[in-house]
Amino acid sequence: MLKVSQESHVNERAQGLHDFRSETNYHAKKFYAQRNVYLTGFTLFLSMILARTHSLVLDLINAQEELAANVGGSEGGAGSSIVSSDKKHQEEIQTMKKQMQQQQAEYNRLSDELAKAQSAVSDKKSD
């Protein structure tokens, strides 16, 4: 745009006569130069907006992925811990059942021995 203005001043000084074609040509060049400046500025502005929007979208995607990983991880971790604690409880229940059966068998054996011993003692008393 500065180049067009400088050319205009040079042509005015060089030519003493007023030429409408050169003036029209000058206005057209000035218009195109101004248009190019505005288009360039607008393009730079849009490129900055596009870069910022791109970075915001990437941040949003990363945040959503982290959220999904945290939610999925906590559900998966909680689910696996529930399953593992359920398995532990089932194993404890089975162990307690075995202990109960063993104690019941031992109690029955001891009560049978006691009954035999008492019957043997009662037989001696009756003699």
pLDDT per position as a tens digit, 23-81: 888 889 889 999 999 999 999 999 999 999 999 999 999 999 999 988 876 665 555 67
**In Å, what is the CA distance from 102 to each residue of 51, 98, 106, 109?**
75, 6, 6, 11
- pLDDT tens figures, 94-104: 999 999 999 99
Sign of the torsion formed by the C-alpha atoms of 116, 119, 125 and 127: negative
Q: What pLDDT band is residue 82 in, cutting at 50, 70 and 90?
A: confident
* Percentage, residues of the chain above pLDDT 90: 53
Q: Can you give the residue ranges of every domain in the chain?
A: 1-67+86-124
How far is residue 38's CA from residue 51's CA, in Å, rounded to a whole number? 20
* Token pair for 31: 């218009």
Which residues neighbour 11 within 8 Å (Cβ) at sequence distance 6 or greater? 22, 26
